[in-house]
Structure 1
Amino acid sequence: MSKSASIAKVMERLTAKPLPVLPSSVRALRITMAAKNAHYGARHFVNQELPRVAYNNKSIQIDVEKKPKGPEEKWNPTMVIEHSKDGTSQTLNLDMMRSDNIVAEMLRVARGDKPSSTVSSTPPPPPSPSAEAAAPTA
């Protein structure tokens, strides 16, 4: 296969419909999963779908943390969706989810649609004391 043909295949995959375009209010995606031997849906999502998400959402910061996980350890892979406008975030539990379901749930939550039971919300953090001190008083 020629170099231009392989580039064309990559571009075809990155731009395949439907495009995973997130709203402009999304600032970052943070994914935590096992380094190996677990969390197969999350692993497939990171390898197959996350490049499409990154390509179609160039302004969004994407972090993937692969942590060691022993056979007896019980913790689930997660995705945190951070919003820039109000500082809120939602955490998706990716346990036992297929990569296509992860994409659908990520888009649903990022758009503000009603999430499934795999999502928990976090309010924005309180202002820092230095920010309060710098604020003018009336």
Structure 2
Amino acid sequence: MAIKAVAKVVPPKIPQKIDLVLDWLRAPPRLQLRGVQKLKISLAYRNDHFGARHFVKEQLPRIRFANPNLDIQVEKALKTKSEGWRPEIELVFEDSKQKTLDLHEKWSTTILKELMDTAGTEGWARWKTNALANGLPVIPGEENESRARVSTDVRRLPSLKEFRAAKQRVEAANPKANPPRMTPKPSPATEAPPDP
């Protein structure tokens, strides 16, 4: 009795999670930026700036994937309810020009469209034109922007940098209101004996 050996070729399997992540990163439209050297985002760590936080979570990884050499900085600062400052994106272009985008009370899809309209490539312009011509949303999820709550507060909030500078000026002008922190003196039991 002869035994036949049959070689079975099994293609290597890519884990499904990686496949899904790569599909998400490569999803159209490609978020490639033109002429941008640095992108800095400042926003609240929690309890505020929801659109900016969703943008960082949903769109920033796709921007990083499409622009691997772009310097991206995210500053998440703690913010109390009494503090009032706005989230923003600072763009620094290769020709040293700067542009700041106000993100206050904007949806992540609105933020992405503003960023891409400011610094997107021709591919973005083609994508936007085709989507609008076919009656499709430019960014998935933008159809819900009409449900956004519109604020009745018309005052302009300072940026995080402006807020911190104003806070330092107030603290410097009124040092008694914010006394410096005192370090407790060590107890005699914990002090080192004097050198002879």
With normalisation by structure 1, the TM-score equals 0.75
RMSD: 1.6
Q: For the residues of structure 2 that align with 1:3 and 1:29, how far apart are their CA atoms?
A: 33
Q: Which residue of 1 aligns with 2:138?
A: none
Larger radius of gyration: 2
CA contact (8 A) 2:43 2:87 kept: yes
Whole-Å separation in 2 of the counterparts to 1:110 and 1:96:
21
Cα displacement string for residues 78-113 of structure 1 (whole angstroms, at most 9, x for unaligned residues): 00011012x11100000111111111100111259x
May I ask how many residue pairs the two structures share in their alignment?
Answer: 109
CA-CA distance at 1:68 after TM superposition: 1.1
Counterpart of 1:63, as a letter, is Q
What CA deviation, in whole Å up to 9, does each residue of 1:48-98 have, x standing for no partner? 11000000011110000001111011110000011012x111000001111
Counterpart of 2:15 in structure 1 is 4
Q: Is the 8 A contact 2:31 2:120 kept in 1?
A: no
Find the counterpart in structure 1 of residue 103 from structure 2.
94
The residue aligned with 1:13 is: 24
Secondary structure of 2:59's counterpart equals: helix
User: Identity across aligned pairs (percent)?
Assistant: 34
**CA-to-partner distance for each residue in 1:18-71, whole Å, 9 max, x for gaps?**
111101x11010000001110000000001110000000111100000011110
- In structure 2, stretches of 5+ residues that fail to align are 1-12, 122-196
| 2:33 corresponding residue in structure 1 | 22
Q: Matched residues in 1 for 2:14 and 2:33: separation? A: 31
Letter in 2 for 1:11: L
- 1:72-91 map, 5 Å: 72-85=82-95, 87-91=96-100
Query: Secondary structure at the residue paired with 2:83?
Result: coil
Runs of 4+ in structure 1 deviating by more than 4 angstroms, as ranges, are: none
Greater relative CO (CA pairs within 8 A, separation 6+): 1
Alignment of 1:45 with 2:55, yes or no, is yes
